[in-house]
């Protein structure tokens, strides 16, 4: 009997950190080790990077504003928040308000029932705000910063916090025995996404009731499949013999907004929704692909009640998930489209930019230990004056995977069926299991393995600074990396705290075959030499963080980082938002701005164009900490944020941060 292990995010992290990449490709760690040894000798950064417990406090004390008189002022003007290990509520920097905008179970569509704690209601959930809000994107209406559409990913569900009688720690079979059809169907409706019309009035934000734009997308919403894999034999099922239509999207994590105003939402840990490990027979391409994607992982009980989540009954259904979905938020009747040209993997983020030649460039990370970084370049050009022309732009283009070299250079390796590499070798062929481009995209991970891409430490969000053209990549962590498998881009064995890489396209051309790269920050406590953190010495005791996850690059080109995995046990601080400087002598300086309640993860940072509002998503508040002693459940949660009422469980929610009295965030 398939069974549920730990809370979903715990299972996700375990899988993400376990890794399914058995290739012998060089790892980012190999590249970083060589890169750091060369760079540090030249620039003398080792002393700061590995400051001892004695030297680091001295360095902090020395880095006072008075001593930094000759250094340009920080682009971030706010009083830094003092970090805390855990709290029942959220905290924001002095001088700011952080107001809850909408919570799980609040109304999105007309006729939505009132939230009833502990009662699974699938029909009601289709009209209510879903669970575990992750990516957020703000799209102005009529060019205004105080009125727009907010698009939201609903990544996954925590059954043990949503409904009574479920436990993240008890016998796994017993957990699934307590999961009913009603619970499963409610979970399915709590997945997907939402489109909200929001407005700021009197200094406060609210959701516009009964908006013509309002929409809920679920695990049952009809979607189209487009691009090279559409209609492929491996995409066909008994419910869809054409291989061109699918119901729902799963585990949508980060995302992006296109210049033509559509929402790109990225399917990540889709493998956890499928059952029947007996289907993974050895040697066949299908079995190898299932293993490479970690499917079936059996994290949910959906396969008990829905045959499409049982791979013995529907072996091709997993192939229909793990894509980037494009949605038109201005038309609630439009059909979401899974764009297969962008590849199939555990997508995290869709950072993008219009290149100087007009082509659209999309950067993507595959969030699992030892997996890869990708880039997609459209064949066509963006038409800024005709939105309709851009409608199918993402169906044709070149998907490539990154190789990071030890000398600080890198190259993009095209994932094109039958194409030779620069040495004249052809890997993506029928002889290697790829009959056509559809095969390459459905089994993107296997194709990237063959090309020799660099194996990374969990690539999560990736975003582009439109002012500088630099690309920022979050590598959250990878404790499975061993000393003999480090490289220049992933320099630390047992990398528990992650790092951030900065990529510069050759000549500022995002379609170029090559790039240069460097490490912006190696995360973790600078007070512990063995950690090898490399924050700027001007960073205070509150400023360092671990496990970088999501980015926001604001209209001024400033980098904001949110985290996933900081906890009392791991770092002595909760997850939150940190402002990180990327240029000049203060490069690598970080300051804490916001922290989440106990058990929560910080997601979805995005700004209004005028920089007067910062939207953030608080995901899974109250979730049981990995390795912690306290079990958090519906009846006994570690917090009841944000309602703080008896009988009401913690509820994921969006928070709108504004400056008291008005004005721009952080100056």
Give me the CATH number covering residue 101. 2.120.10.30
Nearest-CA neighbor of 597 among 92, 12, 82? Answer: 92
Number of separate domains in the chain: 1
Please state the rounded mean pLDDT for residues 96-108: 98
d(CA 42, CA 35): 11
Residue 385 three-state SS: coil
d(CA 130, CA 360): 31
Contacts of 142 (CB under 8 A, 6+ apart): none
Lowest mean pLDDT among 17-21, 148-152, 413-417, 548-552: 17-21
The predicted structure's pLDDT at residue 279: 58
The predicted structure's pLDDT at residue 9: 59
Assess if residue 447 is contained within a domain.
yes
Strand 456-457 and strand 459-464: pairing? unpaired
Could you give the dihedral angle defined by the CA atoms of residues 577, 578, 579 and 585, in that order, rounded to the nearest 10 degrees? -170
Assess if residue 1 is contained within a domain.
no
The predicted structure's pLDDT at residue 23: 67
Assess if residue 454 is contained within a domain.
yes
Looking at per-residue confidence, does 387 or 173 come out higher?
387
pLDDT at 141 over 90: yes
Could you give the dihedral angle defined by the CA atoms of residues 467, 469, 471 and 472, in that order, rounded to the nearest 10 degrees? -30
Handedness of CA 137, 139, 140, 141 (dihedral sign): negative
Average pLDDT of every residue of the chain:
90
> Do 160 and 168 touch, CB atoms closer than 8 A?
yes
> Do 347 and 430 touch, CB atoms closer than 8 A?
no
Can you give the pTM of this predicted structure? 0.92
Mind listing the pLDDT tens digit for each residue in 505-543? Answer: 999 999 999 999 999 999 999 999 999 999 999 999 999
d(CA 87, CA 73): 32
pLDDT at 57 over 50: no
pLDDT at 71 over 80: no
Residue-range definition of the domain harbouring residue 546 = 8-659
Could you give the dihedral angle defined by the CA atoms of residues 127, 129, 130 and 136, in that order, rounded to the nearest 10 degrees? 130
Assess if residue 664 is contained within a domain.
no
Nearest-CA neighbor of 235 among 443, 446, 20, 21? Answer: 443
Helix (H) or strand (E) holding 10: helix 8-18
> Do 460 and 548 touch, CB atoms closer than 8 A?
yes
Strand 369-371 and strand 456-457: pairing? antiparallel
Contacts of 602 (CB under 8 A, 6+ apart): 549, 550, 562, 563, 564, 575, 576, 577, 594, 595, 596, 616, 617, 618, 619
The predicted structure's pLDDT at residue 283: 67
d(CA 334, CA 329): 8
pLDDT at 245 over 80: yes
* Residues composing the chain: 667
pLDDT at 556 over 70: yes
> Do 79 and 660 touch, CB atoms closer than 8 A?
no
d(CA 264, CA 44): 42
Residue 98 three-state SS: strand
Nearest-CA neighbor of 582 among 506, 501, 664, 508? Answer: 501
Nearest-CA neighbor of 519 among 541, 498, 543, 493? Answer: 498
The predicted structure's pLDDT at residue 650: 98
Q: How far is CA 381 from CA 245, 396, 408, 415, 514, in A?
A: 27, 11, 30, 21, 21
The predicted structure's pLDDT at residue 72: 75
Residue 289 three-state SS: helix
Please state the rounded mean pLDDT for residues 173-186: 86
The separation between the first and the last C-alpha atoms of the chain, rounded to the nearest angstrom, is 56
Assess if residue 451 is contained within a domain.
yes
Please state the rounded mean pLDDT for residues 633-650: 97
Assess if residue 58 is contained within a domain.
yes
d(CA 313, CA 275): 10
Helix (H) or strand (E) holding 159: helix 159-162
Assess if residue 665 is contained within a domain.
no
Backbone angles phi, psi at 188, to 5 degrees: -60, -35
Helices and strands per DSSP (H, E), number in the chain: 12, 32
Contacts of 311 (CB under 8 A, 6+ apart): 274, 275, 276, 279, 290, 295, 296, 317, 318
Looking at per-residue confidence, does 32 or 21 come out higher?
21
Nearest-CA neighbor of 501 among 476, 485, 521? Answer: 521
């Amino acid at each position: 009997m398939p069974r549920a292990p730990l809370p979903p995010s715990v299972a996700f992290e375990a899988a993400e950190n376990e890794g399914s990449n058995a290739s012998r490709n060089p790892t980012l760690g190999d590249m970083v080790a060589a890169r750091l040894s060369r760079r540090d000798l030249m620039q003398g950064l080792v002393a700061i990077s590995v400051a001892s417990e004695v030297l680091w406090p001295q360095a902090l004390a020395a880095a006072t504003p008075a001593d930094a008189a000759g250094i340009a002022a920080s682009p971030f003007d706010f009083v830094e928040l003092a970090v805390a290990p855990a709290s029942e509520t959220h905290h924001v920097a002095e001088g700011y308000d952080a107001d809850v905008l909408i919570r799980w179970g609040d109304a999105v569509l007309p006729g939505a029932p009132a939230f009833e704690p502990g009662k699974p209601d699938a029909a009601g959930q289709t009209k209510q705000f879903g669970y575990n809000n992750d990516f957020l994107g703000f799209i102005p209406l009529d060019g205004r910063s105080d009125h727009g559409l907010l698009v939201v990913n609903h990544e996954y569900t925590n059954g043990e916090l949503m409904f009574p009688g479920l436990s993240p720690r008890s016998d796994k079979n017993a957990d699934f025995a307590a999961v009913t059809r009603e619970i499963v169907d409610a979970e399915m409706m709590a997945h997907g996404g939402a489109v909200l019309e929001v407005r700021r009035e009197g200094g406060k934000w609210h959701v516009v009731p009964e908006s013509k734009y309002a929409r809920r997308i679920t695990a049952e919403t009809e979607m189209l499949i487009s691009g090279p894999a559409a209609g492929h034999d491996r995409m066909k099922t008994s419910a869809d013999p054409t291989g061109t239509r699918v119901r729902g999207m799963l585990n949508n994590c980060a995302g992006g907004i296109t210049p033509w105003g559509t929402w790109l939402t990225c399917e990540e840990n889709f493998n956890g929704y499928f059952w029947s490990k007996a289907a993974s027979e050895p040697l066949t391409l299908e079995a190898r692909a299932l293993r490479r994607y970690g499917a079936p992982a059996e994290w949910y009980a959906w396969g008990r009640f829905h045959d499409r989540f049982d791979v013995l009954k529907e072996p091709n259904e997993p192939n229909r998930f793990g894509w980037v979905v494009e949605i038109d938020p201005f038309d609630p009747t439009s059909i979401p489209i899974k764009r297969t040209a962008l590849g199939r993997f555990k997508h995290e983020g869709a950072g993008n930019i219009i290149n100087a030649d007009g082509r659209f460039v999309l950067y993507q990370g595959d969030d699992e230990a030892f997996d890869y970084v990708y880039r997609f370049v459209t064949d066509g050009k963006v038409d800024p004056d005709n939105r309709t022309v851009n409608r199918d732009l993402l169906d044709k283009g070149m998907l490539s995977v990154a190789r990071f070299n030890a000398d600080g250079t890198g190259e993009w390796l095209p994932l094109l069926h039958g194409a030779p590499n620069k040495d004249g070798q052809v890997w993506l062929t029928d002889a290697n299991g790829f009959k056509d481009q559809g095969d390459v995209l459905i089994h993107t991970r296997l194709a990237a393995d063959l090309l020799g891409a660099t194996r990374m430490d969990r690539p999560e969000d990736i975003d582009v600074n439109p002012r500088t053209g630099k690309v920022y990549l979050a590598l959250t962590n990878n404790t499975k990396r061993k000393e003999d498998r480090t490289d220049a881009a992933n320099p630390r064995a047992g990398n528990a705290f992650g790092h951030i890489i900065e990529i510069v396209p050759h000549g500022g051309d995002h379609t170029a075959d090559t790039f240069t790269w460097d490490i912006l920050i190696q995360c973790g406590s600078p007070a512990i030499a063995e950690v090898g953190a490399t924050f700027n010495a001007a960073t205070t005791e509150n400023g360092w963080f671990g496990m970088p996850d999501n980015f926001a690059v604001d209209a001024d080109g400033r980098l904001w980082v949110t985290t996933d995995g900081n906890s009392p046990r791991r770092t002595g601080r909760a997850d939150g938002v940190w402002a990180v400087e990327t240029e000049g002598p203060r490069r690598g300086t970080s300051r804490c701005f916001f922290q989440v309640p106990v058990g929560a993860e910080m997601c979805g940072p995005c700004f209004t164009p005028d920089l007067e509002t910062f939207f953030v998503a608080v995901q899974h508040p109250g979730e049981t900490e990995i390795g912690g002693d306290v079990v958090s459940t519906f009846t006994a949660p570690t917090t009841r944020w944000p309602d703080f009422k008896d009988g009401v469980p913690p509820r994921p929610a969006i928070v709108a941060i504004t400056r008291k009295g008005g004005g721009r965030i952080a100056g």
